[in-house]
Amino acid sequence: MRKHVIWSLILIIIFIILGYFLVRQERLGALYPFRFGLDLVGGTELVYQADTSDVEDVSGAMDTLKEVIERRVNIFGVSEPLVQTESAGIISGNALERLIVELPGVKDIELAKQLIGETPILEFRLEKPGAEEFVSTIASGTPVTLDDIFLPATLTGQYLSHAQVEFDPNTGIPLVALEFDSEGADLFAQITKDNIGKPLAVILDGAILSSPVIQSEITGGKAQISGNFTAEEAKALVRNLNYGALPVPITLITSQTIGASLGDVALHAGARAGLIGFLALVLFLIIWYRLPGFIASIALISYIVLSLVIFKMIPVTLTAAGLAGFILSIGMAVDANVLIFERTKEELKKGKSISDSLHEGFRRAWLSIRDSNISSIITAIVLFWLGTSAVKGFALTLGIGVLISMFTAITVSRTFLFAIAPNSPAGEKSKLKIFLFSNGLHVRN
């Protein structure tokens, strides 16, 4: 018993420290704030599908894509943007590469799309051998794709280090001057050296801007492109090129904007539901299970504190579905206690002592707690594995909840209960103690 008392004190101190940590971390600028999903704080989420069919190093291209988009988003000055890539459909076999951009606080979806989607794809492509004959043989009106005429691009906007607007000194027409990085410069020199006399098409977003004939090898990595730009167009192109050209084309497949007020309401409603659910549960536990019920309530508080600390540390992004998962897990966390107490009641009925009944209650309830929680964890894992981000949030809070509740509902409540359980024959005879440890409608004579 002394051992249990000491452990109880240690546990209480630990939970008070954790609770203090939670409160401290709620201040502005804290190191571990809660992370809330877009549906709770408002903002825009854009999901793009990347076309990686022409790329060999898919994961490399996706990493570059992520970097480029992050750079663009950061230039725009969004607080805490989240850019992530996702390989959807691993299970279904045909991997689809996704790019997910979350922009908290951005409500103007038009602006957000511009910010990300309008990055130009710049390519330099050589004609395929025999392309002219090919074009002359086909009937007019037949659609011809770029791939029919041109070789795949080796030099793209990816190798660009800088672009700027220049004006033709003779005609005053705006031009876009490009400067490649060292790798790009080498590629450009190689291409121009090997293909003197051939045209090199400059293609922007799938449209041919110009197709100058290569006069001589160009070293130094500089080029100019002209495409009958207006000064405005040239400036916009330069700005977009400098933000970073995308390594692969992307198309928007889903977009979501959530107003901040809706999120605010959802967050407060979720928090209120959690609080009311918790209080109702405590009331039920204390009325029905008396002293053990009170201990279970303390275990439940430690469960909530521990979960919230873990949500902060990982960090788990809390969404409306995630909050629902957490509230559900509060109900499930008590499950183990109910199983234990009901079992204890049975043993008490058989006439065993309080301490023995508690021991039996914990021992015998363990198997069903273990098996039922394993099935919940299986569900959580499958949901997390197969789900989209909203479902993942639910699965994560539920899964973490089940694991933590195994600790709080069993270890924590056990330590407390044995610390206060009578273990002397005198204590066993106290009517008050027997009443306190009984439960439901049952009173042992």
Partner 1 sequence: MYVIKYRKIWFVLSGVLLTLSFWAIFTYGFNLSVDFKGGTLTEASYQNERPSLELITSKLQNLNLGGFSVRPSGDFNYIIRTRELSTEEGSALVQTLGSPVVERQNSIGPIAGAELQNKAIKAILVVVFMIVLFITFAFRKVSASLPRGTRGVSSWKYGLATIVALAHDVIIPTGIFVLLGHFMGVEIDLLFITGLLAILGYSVHDTIVVFDRVRENLSINTEKNIKEDFETTVGKSVTQTFGRSINTSLTIFITLLALYLVGSHATKDFSLLLIIGIIIGTYSSIFVASPLLVTFYKLQRTSK
Residue 287 binds partner 1, judged by CB under 8 A: no
- Return the number of the residue (14 or 378) whose C-beta is nearest partner 1: 378
DSSP for 363-393 reads HHHHHHHHHHHHHHHHHHHHHHHH--HHHHH
Residue 375 binds partner 1, judged by CB under 8 A: yes
Euclidean distance between the first and the last CA atom of the chain, given in angstroms as a whole number: 26
What residues numbered 228-257 form the site for partner 1, per CB under 8 A? Answer: 252-257
Distance of CA 251 to the CA centre of its chain: 20
Number of neighbouring beta carbons within 10 Å of residue 147 = 11
- Return the number of the residue (359 or 364) whose C-beta is nearest partner 1: 364
- Return the number of the residue (75 or 374) whose C-beta is nearest partner 1: 374
Distance CA 308, CA 315 (A): 10
Cβ 69 to partner 1, closest distance in Å? 18
**Interface with partner 1 by CB under 8 A: which range of 12-20, 141-149, 389-397, 428-436?**
389-397
In the shown chain, the binding pattern of residues 255 to 274 toward partner 1, with x for contact by CB under 8 A and - for none, equals xxxxx-xx--xxx-xx-xxx
What residues numbered 169-208 form the site for partner 1, per CB under 8 A? Answer: none
Q: How long is the chain?
A: 445
Distance CA 38, CA 40 (A): 5
Distance CA 412, CA 298 (A): 9
- Return the number of the residue (272 or 431) whose C-beta is nearest partner 1: 272
Residues near 224 by beta carbon (within 8 Å), at least 6 away in sequence: 166, 175, 176, 177, 178
The 10 Å CB-count burial string (b at 16+, else e) for 201-239 is bbbbeeeebeeeebeeebeebebebbbebeeeebeebbe
**Interface with partner 1 by CB under 8 A: which range of 68-76, 159-167, 239-247, 382-390?**
382-390
> Among 9, 10, 378, 443, which residue interacts with partner 1 (rule: CB under 8 A)?
378
Given a contact cutoff of 8 angstroms between Cβ atoms, the answer to whether 249 and 50 are in contact is: yes
What residues numbered 40-59 form the site for partner 1, per CB under 8 A? Answer: 47, 49
Given a contact cutoff of 8 angstroms between Cβ atoms, the answer to whether 69 and 100 are in contact is: no
Q: Is 239 helix (H, G, I), strand (E, B) or coil?
A: helix
Cβ 364 to partner 1, closest distance in Å? 7
Torsion sign over Cα 181, 186, 190, 193:
positive
- Return the number of the residue (232 or 371) whose C-beta is nearest partner 1: 371
> Among 362, 394, 418, 437, which residue interacts with partner 1 (rule: CB under 8 A)?
394
Given a contact cutoff of 8 angstroms between Cβ atoms, the answer to whether 184 and 124 are in contact is: no
Distance CA 10, CA 28 (A): 30
Cβ 407 to partner 1, closest distance in Å? 18
Cβ 277 to partner 1, closest distance in Å? 3
- Return the number of the residue (69 or 409) whose C-beta is nearest partner 1: 409
Distance CA 184, CA 152 (A): 16
> Among 364, 406, 433, 434, which residue interacts with partner 1 (rule: CB under 8 A)?
364
Distance CA 275, CA 263 (A): 18
Residue 338 binds partner 1, judged by CB under 8 A: yes
> Among 103, 299, 323, 421, which residue interacts with partner 1 (rule: CB under 8 A)?
323
> Among 69, 202, 321, 404, which residue interacts with partner 1 (rule: CB under 8 A)?
321
Cβ 266 to partner 1, closest distance in Å? 4
What residues numbered 94-133 form the site for partner 1, per CB under 8 A? Answer: 96, 107, 109-110, 113
Q: E strands of 159-221, at which residues?
A: 160-167, 174-180, 200-204, 207-210
Task: Give residue 434's identity as a one-letter amino acid code.
Answer: I
**Interface with partner 1 by CB under 8 A: which range of 10-18, 185-193, 202-210, 335-343?**
335-343
- Return the number of the residue (43 or 221) whose C-beta is nearest partner 1: 43
Residue 347 binds partner 1, judged by CB under 8 A: no
Residue 332 binds partner 1, judged by CB under 8 A: yes
365's tokens? 């309830």
Cβ 422 to partner 1, closest distance in Å? 25
- Return the number of the residue (196 or 374) whose C-beta is nearest partner 1: 374
DSSP for 262-300 reads HHHHHHHHHHHHHHHHHHHHHHHHHHHHHHHHHHHHHHH
Cβ 185 to partner 1, closest distance in Å? 38
280's tokens? 């109702």
> Among 186, 217, 379, 406, which residue interacts with partner 1 (rule: CB under 8 A)?
379
**Interface with partner 1 by CB under 8 A: which range of 196-204, 222-230, 239-247, 375-383?**
375-383
Distance CA 211, CA 98 (A): 33
Strand partners, 82: 102
- Return the number of the residue (26 or 264) whose C-beta is nearest partner 1: 264
Residue 85 binds partner 1, judged by CB under 8 A: no
Residue 16 binds partner 1, judged by CB under 8 A: no
